[in-house]
Chain A
Amino acid sequence: MSTTSSPAALAGGPASTGGVLRLVGAAIALALLIAAPLAIYPVFLMKVLCFALFACAFNLLLGYVGLLSFGHAMFFGGAAYICAHAVKNWGLTPELGILAGVAFAALLGLVAGLLAIRRLGIYFAMVTLALAQMFFFFCLQARFTGGEDGLQGVPRRAVFGLIDITKDLNLYYVVLAIFVIGFAIIYRTIHSPFGQVLKAIRENEPRAISLGYRVNQYKLLAFVLSAALAGLAGATKAIVFQLASLTDVAWQMSGEVILMTLVGGMGTVLGPVVGAGIIVTMQNYLAGFGEWVLVIQGVIFVVVVSLFRRGLVGEVIALFSRQKPGAPAGH
């Protein structure tokens, strides 16, 4: 991958060593992920990967364009419903079902984005929240979603007609491949000239406008991309758990993905992955405590916002860039 547009290169830093280090780090991480099911229950890992991708897609919008969407559950859950419906009732293979889910999420993202980017800041958050709630009521009433029951027992057909995913381990590697593809798209987007313009909009929108960028088109494209990738995560989740339900489109889901991104560190590449890992692990351990989960999530929100706003990965990056004065905070 090219490093010409990375912040290190722009700042005139040692781009080649940084690039090599990054490549080695990515290789080690990938090796760990491939070996992970030897030590950890695959279904849990798949859940983490799905939510990590969801959080990364969300972070593309919050961390790099500065837009806080409070309605990302509609893309995640909407794609889950479409994928589950396509596989269960139309008899599609999983990969086509996921594609259908992603296409739907992108389309929904286009419509919601066109409405939401007309307002800025907190209004953007309220508009996306309201649109997602509208979609929630639609799913509650629509015939094909199965109402309160959701769509259950989505069959795990062979992927491409070849890979048998009834075994959790096989499915894990399919999910890992999907995650890597989604993550690579996000990474490329952030480090492309397009991503630089997004960051410019985040930092100073009037200046980006005065430089001649059609800011709204950039925002809309980022919104659609983020929605489509959130849909990829949701559709994959529907295949893994063989289930699409109202939980996936409820506002609490939108809140959870914000929490994951915040805990890990918004505006960092790895933050959302770390955050998703922490929150999913926590939910797994606290599943028996019922309503305490809500309370603890709220406490984490308050603590992170009050005390360490950079998130875990953000704090680590800040620590390293303090030790090396003049070095740019890597993204």
Chain B
Amino acid sequence: MFELLGIAPQALFGQLLLGLINGAFYAILSLGLAVIFGLLNVINFTHGAQYMMGAFGAWMLLNYVGIPFWGALVLSPIIVAIIGMVIERTLLRRLYHLDHLYGLLLTFGLGLIIEGLFRRQYGSSGLPYNNPLPGGTNLGFMFLPNYRAFVVVFSLAICIGTWFVIERTKLGSYLRAATERPDLVQAFGIDVPRMITLTYGFGVGLAALAGVLAAPAYQVSPTMGSNLIIVVFAVVVIGGMGSIMGAIVTGFGLGLVEGLTKVFYPEASSTVIFVIMAIVLLVKPAGLFGTVK
């Protein structure tokens, strides 16, 4: 069958796996955006820069402190999340009573500052980060590199875990209640402002986690975030931000579609997600899993 299409199975499955990895990043990033937007009503334009900070965090921990990948996988997201929470407390908080657009513009400006500082310090070209899981398994129809398999499985676990916490635990029910009616939740004695700060930290931490995972798969570069985040916005528009599971499914699905496009029509691989976004806007403007608010 593959011979008929003139595509070697090795190339096909290789690209599908890469697509799945990209899809994992789309899923984790759009998940973070959705969680933040749900509670803060802010579209976090700094998300791309925070993803990049996560990757650089891993690189710095390794090169300046000597902490290997597995330590960085935990530490780097926490550090970036703390920086994010400071930003929320000092800057974002003042804008909640205003039009959503101001939050968007503020986070866009913060993204420019962060990207500019990193570009000044480390230049625009990428820095290498060694693969912590070299080697792989031969599955017969393709060669499966260990690290890529790990990224897909680990990301899926993170996504499902996030879904579980938000949809199935008491903490998640507070969060969902505060998304609907923050004033009522506050009246029940829950510290909503602190909850907002922690939620922002959590969303940002997710972005940084994706960044750490991306560091060995790609290069660590200051522009890695801004390139990715625009695609993630398209993913968010396609999926709608109403549903956690929707964000996960859309993210992985679109990654696969992108991978397939790379095999069959490489010229369109950078634009296929935007084309899908245009079609979804025509057919179902609220997004695949979205509801009109």
Which A positions have Cβ atoms within 8 angstroms of B? 68, 115-116, 118-119, 121-123, 125-127, 129-131, 133-134, 137-138, 140-141, 251, 255, 258, 262, 290-302, 305-306, 309
Contacts and interface: CB of A to CB of B under 8 A. Distances in A.
A130 B112 contact: no
* Chain A interface main SS type: helix
B194 interface: no
Given A127-B237, A137-B271, A305-B106, A115 B278 contact: yes
B37 to A, nearest CB: 8
A1 B111 CA distance: 44
A134 B278 CA distance: 10
Contacts of A131: 274, 278
B86 to A, nearest CB: 14
Interface string B111-141: 1111111011000000000000000000000
A24 B117 CA distance: 46
Nearest to A140: B270
Contacts of B206: none
Interface stretch (B60-68, B97-105, B184-192): B97-105
A121 B101 CA distance: 7
B12 interface: no
Q: Which 7 A-B pairs have the closest CB atoms?
A: A301-B109, A298-B112, A294-B116, A298-B113, A295-B116, A134-B274, A291-B120
Dominant SS among interface residues on chain B: helix
Question: How many interface residues does chain B have, given as a range?
Answer: 35 or more
Nearest to A305: B106
Given A125-B43, A298-B110, 17 more contacts: A119-B237, A119-B285, A121-B100, A126-B233, A131-B274, A133-B230, A134-B274, A138-B271, A291-B117, A294-B112, A294-B115, A294-B116, A298-B112, A298-B116, A302-B113, A306-B94, A306-B106
B102 A309 contact: yes
Contact of A306 (B43, B91, B112, B115): B91
A306 B277 CA distance: 33
A68 B101 CA distance: 8
Contacts of B197: none
B163 to A, nearest CB: 23
A129 B233 contact: yes
A301 B49 CA distance: 16
A297 B105 contact: no
Contacts of B226: 251
B116 A126 contact: no
28 contacts: A115-B282, A119-B281, A121-B100, A121-B101, A125-B43, A125-B104, A126-B43, A126-B234, A127-B237, A127-B277, A130-B230, A131-B274, A133-B230, A133-B274, A134-B275, A134-B278, A141-B267, A290-B120, A291-B116, A291-B120, A297-B112, A298-B109, A298-B111, A298-B112, A301-B105, A301-B110, A305-B102, A309-B98
Contacts of A134: 271, 274-275, 278
A159 B101 CA distance: 42
Given A68-B104, A133-B230, A302 B274 contact: no
Contact of A130 (B108, B234, B267, B270): B234
Nearest to A112: B278
Nearest to B43: A122
A130 B277 contact: yes
